[in-house]
Structure 1
Amino acid sequence: MCRLLAYLGSPVSLQSLLCQPPHSLIVQSYQPREMTAGRLNADGYGFSWYDRHQRNQPFTYKSILPIWSDINLPSLSDYIHSDCILAYVRSATPGQALDLSNSQPFNYHNWSFIHNGAIPQFRQRLYRPLRDRLRSPYYELINGTTDSEHLFAYLMQLQDSHPQQPLSQTLKTALEDFQELAIAHNSQLSANLILSDGQHLIACRFAVNTTPPSLYYLQQDDSHLIASEPIFPGNWQAFAPGSIVKVNPTQGPQWTVLTP
């Protein structure tokens, strides 16, 4: 299972998040502490960041190399500074192609998205039921074969259908729909999701018929971090299963817990 990291706060270098912490994503790629499936996250990595002085849409870098072996990362991570960053290291589901179309983050307009979790036998169980719910242009958003990209496309369809609705409410509706599909098709589903529009973070820890992967939240002064595993010592708060948090830089975290 992949490892996730998201940051919102005062501008920082990418290096200070991805590379320098004692339990950074680089370390988590080869020595994760809380993975429940697999031992390594060696199937590529990616990150998105925002610079709203240039544009509202996120910038993205993806690689199918293990994060520890990409010679471009030291220069990029030292150069890039941002107040909003999403990053992940990938542990590919067996049978999924190792290519850039299956690599996260996925973007749509000003939204960026990362996912940690799995839908076992996705092609056999939920692939067609989920795709049948997608309309154009959201169906055409999908370039790869991962369950992650399908979940993102459905979430963006819901958001565009209710543009005045807070995304945390849209995410709640999407999770309820995913739960309905998983139960109807006798499937497991785990979906730790993090989204951002460059000004907020919205994240959830969620699963159906299984235990969700680990996810933590930390507020330090005016900075907010969400991570699969704490990247450094601190007062990290574990997400409860079925919980959603919305982070606004000018307010404290707003928590919602889904009713079982």
Structure 2
Amino acid sequence: MCRHLAYLGPPRSLAELITAPPHSLYEQSWSPRLQDHGTVNADGFGIGWYPPGAGAAATPVRYRRAIPIWADINLPGLLPVLHSGAVVAAVRDATAGTSRDEAASAPFALGPWLFSHNGSVDDWESLPADIGEPLSAAELLSLEARSDAALLWLLVARRLRSGHAPADALADVVRRTHDVRPDARLNLLLTDGGNLTAVRLGASLWYHAAADRVTVASEPVPGRPDWHEVPDHSLLTTHHSTVSIKAL
């Protein structure tokens, strides 16, 4: 399992989003409260963000490491001076049998897209064949890491490239995966820097929406009634700061 978050809104420092809040993503790396599988998220971390003023369809920047987030001595100096209005970040607890290099840490990227997976898929190597969607040699070679998350991203990205809407791309991959791996845990985040799409299936997911911002995260800020739990087996979409949720 992992913990992750996505933010869309006015530019804020990455420290405000990742390390400063009570029970922050940073703290969840060693002390998650709502994580049912695994106890420590110490197999790496990643942060993706869109530089302010980059415009529509901007290419995001990523910073990923294969060490625990608390072990990176660069972050206390970096996060307060980096600002963005669109951020995806994750701390990783690796699925058994997956690679543990930094390329396996979310977020994954393609063009303007950032993607994160919180959960696990058993026997993920055979998933494409089991859902009737085998990968070409070129796609296998392009797989960024040997992990269930990287494979799910490849399947989602294939749909995005073919013109699927983000919600349709996530929902189709989740449904097909759940059909053949009913025990899979599939919490997904996807953004192009302008809109955010998420799926909750089998792990915790919450959101906070205000007039000009939306945050979706594995765990809420404690004691804040303006955080709302996303129902299990649900698809969340945003348009500006409006959140819509429907059953998968």
Pairwise same-fold verdict (TM > 0.5): yes
**C-alpha separation in 1, matches of 2:207 and 2:149:** 22
Measured against aligned partners, the alpha-carbon deviations of 1:50-75 in whole angstroms (never above 9, x if no partner) come to: 12634711100001121111111112
How far does residue 239 in structure 1 lie from its aligned partner after superposition? Answer: 1.1
How far does residue 132 in structure 1 lie from its aligned partner after superposition? Answer: 4.8
Query: Secondary structure, in 3 states, of the residue corresponding to 1:126?
Result: helix
How far does residue 136 in structure 1 lie from its aligned partner after superposition? Answer: 6.8
Higher mean displacement: 236-245 or 49-58: 49-58
**C-alpha separation in 1, matches of 2:140 and 2:123:** 20
Does residue 229 (structure 1) correspond to residue 224 (structure 2)? The answer is no
| One of 217, 238, 255 as aligned partner of 2:245 | 255
Query: Secondary structure, in 3 states, of the residue corresponding to 2:86?
Result: strand
* Counterpart contact for 1:130–1:150, Cα < 8 Å: no
**C-alpha separation in 1, matches of 2:24 and 2:117:** 18
Query: Secondary structure, in 3 states, of the residue corresponding to 1:46?
Result: strand
| One of 205, 208, 216 as aligned partner of 2:206 | 216
Query: Secondary structure, in 3 states, of the residue corresponding to 2:15?
Result: helix
* Counterpart contact for 1:88–1:114, Cα < 8 Å: yes
**C-alpha separation in 1, matches of 2:173 and 2:133:** 15
Does residue 122 (structure 1) correspond to residue 124 (structure 2)? The answer is yes
**C-alpha separation in 2, matches of 1:135 and 1:71:** 40
How far does residue 147 in structure 1 lie from its aligned partner after superposition? Answer: 0.6
Q: CA RMSD in A?
A: 2.0
TM-score (norm: length of structure 2): 0.91
Report % sequence identity.
Answer: 33
Q: Between Structure 1 and Structure 2, how many residues are aligned? A: 245
Letter of the aligned partner of 1:41 in structure 2? N
Query: Secondary structure, in 3 states, of the residue corresponding to 2:46?
Result: strand
| One of 181, 199, 202 as aligned partner of 1:204 | 199
TM-score (norm: length of structure 1): 0.87
**Equivalent residues in 2 for 1:4-15 (5 A)?**
4-15=4-15
Letter of the aligned partner of 1:173 in structure 2? D
Higher mean displacement: 61-70 or 230-239: 230-239
* Counterpart contact for 1:43–1:90, Cα < 8 Å: yes
2:34 counterpart residue number: 34
How far does residue 31 in structure 1 lie from its aligned partner after superposition? Answer: 0.8
Structure 1 residues without counterparts, runs of 5 or longer: 207-211
Query: Secondary structure, in 3 states, of the residue corresponding to 1:92?
Result: coil
Measured against aligned partners, the alpha-carbon deviations of 1:29-62 in whole angstroms (never above 9, x if no partner) come to: 1111011111111111111001263471110000
**Equivalent residues in 2 for 1:55-204 (5 A)?**
56-123=58-125, 125-126=126-127, 128-129=129-130, 132-135=133-136, 138-161=139-162, 163=163, 165-182=164-181, 188-204=183-199
Letter of the aligned partner of 2:245 in structure 1? W
**C-alpha separation in 2, matches of 1:196 and 1:171:** 11
Residue 82 and residue 135 in structure 1: after superposition, are their counterparts in 2 closer, same or farther (change >3 A)? same
Does residue 238 (structure 1) correspond to residue 237 (structure 2)? The answer is no
1:3 counterpart residue number: 3
Structure 2 residues without counterparts, runs of 5 or longer: none
